[in-house]
Amino acid sequence: MAFQSPSVNDTTPENAFEQTYNDTFTLLNEDNTIGLSLPGSMAISHTDLVVNDESALLQMDEVTTDRQYGFATLRPTYYIKAKYDINSEISLQIGPQGCDSNNDPSDVGNDDSWGMNAITIVNIAPSGDTADVEYGLPYADATYDVASFTVNDPTNRNKEYSVDLRIQLGNDGAVHANASLPDQTNFIGVVDDVYHLAQTAYWPTTAPTIATAPVVGANDDDILAATITPSAISGHFASAMEAMENDVNDQENVLVSWTISFDAVAHHPGSTLSQYGQVNNLTNDDPFVTGAKIVAQTPKEYHVKVSVEHGNVESLVKENVYGILEQDTTSSLENTA
């Protein structure tokens, strides 16, 4: 799969009260993530990654900052967005003409109020995903020193090859790992010369080809040195490298589940929801056009950690993620509040 991070347009000025107040109706519909900021929260359950140390020895043998966008709107950098018929949870209460609900004649036109039922959308990720869900989680690409392979000759000359594990975390929670040896220099091992023996040094690798013990004749010239390459080392320890890769790859996706919740909004002319309806001169209980969005004000920290060599715990990604609902009457998702 292709790992991508969501693109964000950062050109809109912060706290642009007048501009945003007048343009909110359009912005909530046309921008991919801008939504009316309402009381609510995001919850995410995910797994952390544990890579077991597969260090081994080969012995030679002689044989966001999140940005606030204007008044009462949020443009999250990282998010999970679900399509839902928000309007089905909203009702309009018409106030007395000429004054507000407190009978204050100076507040003409601001008397109508919109209320909203509590909304909770729960999804099991990723197996329960549908076309109604869009992920904009943070992308990560990091490399960790997770183990080492040591090659040693009979004279106790040795070389240690560290094992790097590159872990890629996609913006949908998918994860993939690949192990490699960053040091690509050869190692030459030697054996001590014993005058009464015919000697041939070799590295007893087992993969990708098996290095069998050479046949040495009594009158053969001595071969007291043998070279081993990183490629041969990777082949010999291929099963260990694969095991470390599979510690990550077997998980496939770090997401376990997520929940987007919005609190109920009571009918009040001064609420954010009511102000949105008033400013945009709405007259019905369907204030959101298809594509318009609401954003839960409280994000959830998405902190994926990796346990690597010697029990060290590294942070793969740590960002706030917001929950977004997008108006769509065809959504198959249900409100479980």
Q: pLDDT digit string (tens) for 182-230?
A: 999 999 999 999 889 998 998 998 877 777 888 889 888 999 999 999 9
Cross-strand partners of 176: 168
Which of 42-56, 61-75, 228-242, 299-313 holds the top average pLDDT? 228-242
Specify whether the CB–CB gap between 285 and 91 falls below 8 A. yes
Angle at 68 between CA 282 and CA 77, to 5 degrees: 105
Instruction: Decide if pLDDT at 109 tops 50.
Output: no
pLDDT at 211: 78
Quote the pLDDT of residue 282.
83
Which residue from 60, 54, 63, 62 is spatially nearest to 228, judged by alpha carbons? 60
Q: What is the pLDDT of residue 236?
A: 92
pLDDT digit string, tens, across residues 83-92: 999 999 999 9
Q: Are the C-beta atoms of 24 and 190 separated by less than 8 Å? A: no
Main-chain dihedrals φ then ψ at residue 34, nearest 5 degrees: -65, 130
Residues in contact with 254: Cβ distance below 8 Å, sequence separation at least 6, in sequence order: 46, 47, 48, 49, 169, 173, 175, 304
Confidence band of 312 (pLDDT split at 50, 70, 90)? confident
pLDDT at position 206, please?
85
Confidence of residue 271 (pLDDT cuts 50, 70, 90): confident
Provide the whole-model pTM: 0.74
> Per-residue pLDDT for 127 more than 70?
no
Beta strands in the chain (DSSP E): 35-46, 49-50, 56-59, 67-68, 73-75, 79-84, 90-93, 113-116, 119-124, 133-136, 140-152, 158-169, 175-180, 187-190, 225-228, 255-262, 293-298, 300-307, 313-327
User: Per-residue pLDDT for 311 more than 90?
Assistant: no
SS3 (DSSP) at 15: coil
pLDDT band at 234 (very low <50, low <70, confident <90, very high): very high
The rounded percent of the chain whose pLDDT value lies above 90 is 47
Mean pLDDT score across all residues of the chain: 80
pLDDT digits (tens, 9 = 90+) for 157-172: 899 999 999 999 999 9
Q: 215 vs 62, 153, 194, CA distance in Å?
A: 12, 20, 18
The H helix count followed by the E strand count for the chain is 4, 19
Cis peptide before 138 (omega within 30 of 0): no
